Amino acid sequence: MVRVLVTAGPTVEALDPVRFLSNRSSGRMGYAVARALLARGHEVVLVSGPVSLRAPAGVTHLGVESAREMLRACRDYWQDCDALYAVAAVADYRPKRAVLHKLKRHEGEGQVIELTPNPDIVRTLARSKQGRLVVGFALESRCGEVEARRKMEVKKLDFVALNGPEAQGAERSSLLVLGADGSRVELGPTAKPGLARRVVRATLG
């Protein structure tokens, strides 16, 4: 039994108290990975952006909103975990200025939203991996395998699970699991719970 940190869902980046930038991630894959890990007897810490899914019974669940909050929550737990599955669709950018009052209609015209980069959570945590397993997920719309391998190297991942944009919000999908050792395993197409079980088997054993 090992203790595993899982990130899941989208992050939301505030523009004002009621508006935000985000993406279409449903969190299904991350939650399915958490369930698959639990089913194999592992302890799971699930750090999740806002989703409409119920956290699996038995996980330590932390709900967060922004990428920076997600990184803070992950940092608190990473030192006591043995592996990381970074499944979250983290927003790469956030509005440079989040205003404290709700923007009025007349304030919007001609307004330009400036963006600033968010931290790369998996890359930050993998810097202190010290032999621990780090698995990333990549969603690519072109040159998938080359891009995924590049990310694996840059982010110091042991494995990267690659899928296409059609996987977002879908019930069933496929994954190509690439290993830092050059391995290549095709999984699916199948429903996400089964896919998650196979990813865990292919990466954690």
Which CB, 37 or 90, lies closer to ligand CTP?
90
Which CB, 55 or 161, lies closer to ligand CTP?
161
Q: Which of 145, 133, 143, 149 is nearest to 204 (CA)?
A: 133
Q: What separation, in Å, do the N-terminal and C-terminal C-alpha atoms of the chain show?
A: 12
Q: Are 56 and 38 in contact (CB under 8 A)?
A: yes
Find the farthest-apart pair of alpha carbons in the chain and give their distance in angstroms, rounded. Answer: 57
Binding site for ligand CTP (CB under 6 A): 7, 67, 86, 88, 90, 92, 118, 120-122, 136-139, 151
Which CB, 23 or 190, lies closer to ligand CTP?
23
Residues 44 and 34: their CA atoms lie apart, in Å, by 6
Residues 77 and 4: their CA atoms lie apart, in Å, by 9
Q: How far is the CB of 136 from ligand CTP (least distance, A)?
A: 3
23 is catalytic: yes
- The crossing angle, in degrees rounded to 10, of helices 192-203 and 28-39 is 60
- For 167, the 3-state DSSP assignment is helix
The CA distances from residue 81 to 5, 57, 154, in Å, are 6, 19, 22
Q: How far is the CB of 85 from ligand CTP (least distance, A)?
A: 8
Q: How far is the CB of 125 from ligand CTP (least distance, A)?
A: 8
Which CB, 138 or 177, lies closer to ligand CTP?
138
Q: How far is the CB of 5 from ligand CTP (least distance, A)?
A: 11
Residues 31 and 61: their CA atoms lie apart, in Å, by 11
Query: Which of these is catalytic: 2, 15, 22, 23?
Result: 23
Catalogue the active-site residues. Answer: 23
